[in-house]
A and B are shown apart, each in its own frame.
Chain A
Amino acid sequence: MAAAKSKDNSKADGAENGIAESGVKSVSSAKPTKYGYFLGCVMPVKMPWAEKATMTVSKHLGLDFDYMKETLCCVRPGVWKAMNPDWWLSVTAQNLANAEKQGITIVDTCNGCWISHYESLKELTEEPEKLKMVNEHLGKAGMHLKGDVKVKHYLELLHDDVGMEKIVASVVRPLTGIKVMRHIGCHARKHDETLPNDFDEILRATGVEIIDTPYDKTCCGLLLYFADSNQAILERIGKKMMTAQALGVDAYVIICSGCYDQFERGVKIYREEKGIIFETPIIHIAELLALAFGYEPEDFGMTKCRPIAADKFIEKVRAIAAKNAKAAVEKKKGGESL
């Protein structure tokens, strides 16, 4: 099964990276995995705070993690495969060939980018005729793809290569008392429930409480928006954001930049066309990790350029941290007086 195969690769990478199961760096002569962060279209333009948080968290965890250079659109399988599957394979192969040349494992935080890279690589390595066809086009641009490259979802990287023990051990500011709704996105659950489970496990490691709702598994409506705007916005984003508002959760946590694009679109449409203002901030999982690891919101621009301000959320995180610090001091005092 595709996802299972991907998992096996992850474990091998974790070992290569010298990160033992205990979360402590092990002595290994194997070459560490070099991860290349594939930004895609949305992340660098609409979510700079998430980009910065992802870079910060990854370096904090000791990974050899840097930007993948010369990245282009992934390209979106929903649009390109619908037009012509061979076009999709030919164009997405440019990114795969670049990664292969740069000697990196591609890391995607966007589910759309991940599924495009993951499935095209699978198809190209399993069907030599397609690889040949793609290489004919790449060759005209002076490029070549052997298929010797790995693709990882960021959740896979965190959960399997870094490991939960290390993530838990890195939490110095538990976000206990913060209630969140979460949206994992369709592509992340296409093969099985591994990535959604990883998502929840990592979220819980930060200390937040996940509130389950009937809208957790519904699509964000990104591609549906092309076909039916009302269904995509009112029935998807609208239902999700209204539920978050009604439940009074502190944040709506996402991982996928494609989904975020649709959340942002929905929030703006509600504000501009319906006069409805949502107040639940949409937060990237890397931001939660950065906060839990002790970084300040200003360190990664959490207070900047977002459609729903995160001020109240930040205020609550700080209040919880202050309360926990006070409790720790009192506990210490109590211990000393015994």
Chain B
Amino acid sequence: MSSEPQPLKSWIKLLEAGKKITTHRQSDENIVYPLRRTFRPAAPDIAKGSLKRDFEQGLVYYVGDEVENDRAACGLSRLPPTGRSYADAVAKKRVILEDAGVFKKAGYDKKKGTFDY
């Protein structure tokens, strides 16, 4: 029996979320193609969820109704003056990400919102 501690449930949830948006899972495909060499993808599974949010809206956390209500309760504008209020800034970021080769090298499909590997 292994004495290694089990990862925390919340961490497993985060990892699974990353795997869910990955088209080709090397661990599964290695069973079908045992001679294929595995490689380290640019974006690790554990960070894919937050990277996807960053790619889509320019920030790591979404602003939903609950957040808007919390902000209003603290005397702030419902929407922060971040990329959440400036769609143009997010559009520019996506142009930079594209031009810098981030989407391509990270294997990110902009239309589907998934990673190849």
A-B pair number, CB within 8 angstroms: 137
Binding site for A on B (CB under 8 A): 5, 7-11, 42-44, 46-47, 50-51, 54, 58-63, 67, 70-71, 73-76, 80-84, 86, 88-90, 92-93, 95-102, 105-106
Q: Are B11 and A229 in contact (CB under 8 A)?
A: yes
Chain B residues within 8 Å of A73, by CB? 54, 58-60
Q: How far is the CA of A230 from the CA of B12 in the complex (A)?
A: 11
Verify B100–A137 contact, CB threshold 8 A: yes
Query: Does the CB pair B8–A48 fall under 8 Å?
Result: no
Q: With a CB–CB cut-off of 8 A, which chain A residues contact B59?
A: 41, 72-73
How many residues of chain A have a CB within 8 Å of chain B?
51
Q: Which residues of A (71-95) have their CB < 8 Å from a CB of B?
A: 71-73, 75-76, 79, 83-84, 86-87, 90-91, 94
Contact residue among A44, A69, A90, A225 (Cβ-Cβ distance under 8 Å from B63): A44
- Min CB distance B5 to A, Å, is 5
Interface centre among A45, A84, A141, A299, by most chain B C-beta atoms within 10 angstroms, is A45
Distance of A142 from chain B, by nearest CB (Å): 7
Residues in A whose Cβ lies below 8 Å from that of B98: 140
A residues lining the B interface (CB < 8 Å): 39, 41-42, 44-46, 48-49, 51-52, 67-73, 75-76, 79, 83-84, 86-87, 90-91, 94, 98, 136-138, 140-143, 225-227, 229-230, 233, 265, 268-269, 272-273, 299-301, 304-305
Question: 6 closest pairs, A vs B, by CB?
Answer: A301-B74, A44-B80, A229-B11, A72-B58, A141-B92, A48-B74
